[in-house]
Amino acid sequence: MTAALAFADAGEAADLAAFLARLIHYDRAAAVRLQAGPVAGSGSEQSLAVFGRPPSFEVLAIRTARVDSAAGLDVTVSAGELLEGLDITAGTATVPAAVTGPPWAGLLPPRGGWRQLPGLPSPDAVRSAVAAVVTEFRTRTEKLPAELRTRAELDRIGREIWSRPLGDTDLPVRAAHAAQSLGFLRPVRVAVPDLGTAARHMDQPALLAAGSWLRLRTPYGSVAVRRASDPNGLGGLSVTPA
């Protein structure tokens, strides 16, 4: 039995469609877990959280959307089928039939209890750090002689580079790479009524922690990872720059 979603506005549907398309770009068979919960002080409005795990980054990506009604919704579905069921113009979506969830779908970050941590670099510095490690990975792997360009060696270099902390934090740089590749670090367009134009600026992302989880939150979505010391962490680093 399928369910229907009505988004608070067409923009919410469009942003979710863009997120799903990016997930499918990295994995055509991508699955997403949908969870809905009430928005405090908003009456019947619900917040829909969409969780995905792009395999190129080994992180959990989270996009939220405001929907008029989705009480009790908690299901794992095909990202492609959900995208096909989105009507951006109408601001609606048909939730497809549930699929057998991948292992990560049963281990999600908590909904509450997050606290902000210091040390996250500025948005420009985050983007620069991502660009630097992408360049370093490509340079180092391109210099490898053919006989040493093995999967094991590529994995070793990738693990060394992408596990490095971002700035003065415990967040691995791969989380910022994922956020940028998924469109979470793009500038935010803000109307300036007095000028009749639009200004572009980058809201400062925030680094949050809850238990063993770290989350890089931006206006467009979040990327969550387990701390490196957590024995149940996501594990497995990709070595392919996007």
Residue range 126-169, pLDDT digits in tens: 999 999 999 999 999 999 999 999 999 998 999 899 999 999 99
For residue 20, with 0-12 CB atoms within 10 Å meaning exposed, 13-18 middle and 19 or more buried, which class applies? Answer: buried
How high is the pLDDT of residue 194?
52
Q: Read off the pTM.
A: 0.84
CA distance 218 to 37: 20
Q: Is the pLDDT of residue 101 over 60?
A: yes
* Edge-to-edge strand ranges of the sheet holding 3-6: 3-6, 92-95, 86-87
Q: Is the pLDDT of residue 188 over 80?
A: no
Residues 51-62 as b or e (16 or more Cβ within 10 Å = b)? bbbbebbbbbbb
| Helix, strand or coil, per DSSP, at residue 169 | coil
From the list 74, 75, 95, 98, the residue with the least C-alpha distance to 85 is 95
How high is the pLDDT of residue 231?
45
Please report, for the chain, the start and end positions of each structural domain, with discontinuous segments joined by +: 3-106, 117-205
Q: Is the pLDDT of residue 189 over 60?
A: no
How high is the pLDDT of residue 238?
38
Task: Point out which residues pair with 113 in neighbouring strands.
Answer: none
Helix, strand, coil in percent for the chain, rounding step 5: 30, 30, 40
Locate tokens 């490095």: which residue?
164
Q: Are 46 and 66 in contact (CB under 8 A)?
A: yes
How high is the pLDDT of residue 230?
52
